[in-house]
Chains A and B, each alone.
Chain A
Amino acid sequence: MARVCLIWVERPGLEGLDPAEVAKRAGLSLDPGGAIPAAVVTAPEWAAPPAVRSRLAGKPAQWLDLAGEVGGGPAEKRLARAAAAVARAAGRAALGTLPQVYTAQPAQTVLVAGAGLAAVAAARQAGLLGHPVILATPFGRAAQAGADDEAEEVSLLAAQLPAQVEVLAEAELRHLSGAAGDFTAELQTPQGAQLKRFGAVVLAPAGGYAPPELGLDPELAKPVADLPPEGLAGSPDKWLQAAVIAGVDAPATADAFARAVEAALALQARDFVQTTLLFSEARVASEGGERRYREARQAGVIAARVAAGGLEVAQGGRLLKWRDLLLDEEVQLRPDLLAVAGPVAAALPAFLANPVLWPAWPQLVPEGPRFSGGRTARSGLYIIGALRGTAPGRARRVEAAAAAADLHDRLTQGRATPVPSVRNTACASCLTCVRVCAHGVPRYGSDAIVCAPAACVACGMCAAECPAEAIAPPGWSNPELIAGLEAGLAKSAGTKAVLFACGQSGAQAFAELCRQGHEWPEGLLLYPVPCAGRVGMQLIMKALSSGAAGIMVAGCHDGNCRSVSGNLRARLRAGETAALLERLGLGPERVEFLHLASNQPRRLAQAVDRFVSTLG
Chain B
Amino acid sequence: MISLNDCDPGFKFEVAAEPGGAGIKACFACAACSARCPVAGHREEYDPRRIIRLTLLGRREEVLSSPLIWLCSACYSCQEVCPQQVRFTEVLTAIKNLAAKAGYAPPSAKQIAGLLAGHGRLLAVTEFENEKRAELGLPAVEERGADYAAILGIAPEAAEAGEEA
Contact = CB atoms under 8 A, between A and B. Distances in A.
Given A324-B57, A326-B29, 15 more contacts: A241-B4, A241-B5, A272-B9, A276-B4, A293-B28, A297-B27, A297-B28, A298-B25, A299-B25, A300-B25, A326-B49, A330-B2, A331-B1, A331-B2, A332-B1
B25 A297 contact: yes
A297 B84 CA distance: 11
Contacts of B49: 326
Contacts of B25: 297-300
A327 B27 contact: no
B160 to A, nearest CB: 38
A294 B50 contact: no
Interface in A320-348: 324, 326-327, 329-334
What bracket does the count of chain B residues touching chain A fall in?
Answer: 20 to 34
B2 A300 contact: no
B26 A327 contact: no
A209 B63 CA distance: 40
3 closest residue pairs by CB, A with B? A274-B9, A333-B4, A330-B1
Contact of B28 (A236, A282, A327): A282
Interface in B1-29: 1-5, 9-10, 12-13, 25-29
Interface of A: 236, 239, 241, 272, 274, 276, 282, 293-294, 297-300, 302-303, 305, 324, 326-327, 329-334
B132 to A, nearest CB: 53
Given A300-B12, A324-B53, A326-B49, A305 B29 contact: yes
Nearest to A274: B9
Nearest to A293: B28
B2 A334 contact: no
Contact of A302 (B3, B57, B84): B57
A324 B2 contact: yes
B54 interface: yes
Contacts of A272: 9
A302 B56 contact: yes
Nearest to A298: B25
B154 to A, nearest CB: 30
Secondary structure of the B side of the interface? helix
Nearest to A331: B2
A47 to B, nearest CB: 77
B4 A331 contact: yes
9 contacts: A239-B9, A241-B4, A282-B28, A294-B28, A294-B84, A324-B57, A327-B50, A330-B1, A334-B3
A236 B14 CA distance: 13
Contacts of A299: 25
A271 to B, nearest CB: 12
Contacts of B5: 241, 332-334
B5 to A, nearest CB: 5
B26 to A, nearest CB: 6
A56 B2 CA distance: 83
B9 A303 contact: no
B47 to A, nearest CB: 9
B65 to A, nearest CB: 16
Contacts of A332: 1-5
Contacts of B54: 327
Interface string B46-62: 00011001101110000
A269 to B, nearest CB: 14
A547 B134 CA distance: 113
A29 to B, nearest CB: 79
Nearest to A284: B28
Contact of A300 (B9, B53, B84): B9
Contacts of A241: 4-5
Contacts of B57: 302, 324, 331
A294 B25 CA distance: 9
Contacts of A305: 29
A305 B54 CA distance: 14
B63 to A, nearest CB: 12
Nearest to A297: B25
A326 B53 contact: yes
A293 B54 CA distance: 20
Nearest to B47: A326
Contacts of A303: 28-29
A298 B26 contact: yes
Nearest to A290: B28
B9 A327 contact: no
Contacts of B9: 239, 272, 274, 300
B29 A329 contact: no
A303 B26 CA distance: 10
B26 A297 contact: yes
B162 to A, nearest CB: 35
A306 to B, nearest CB: 13
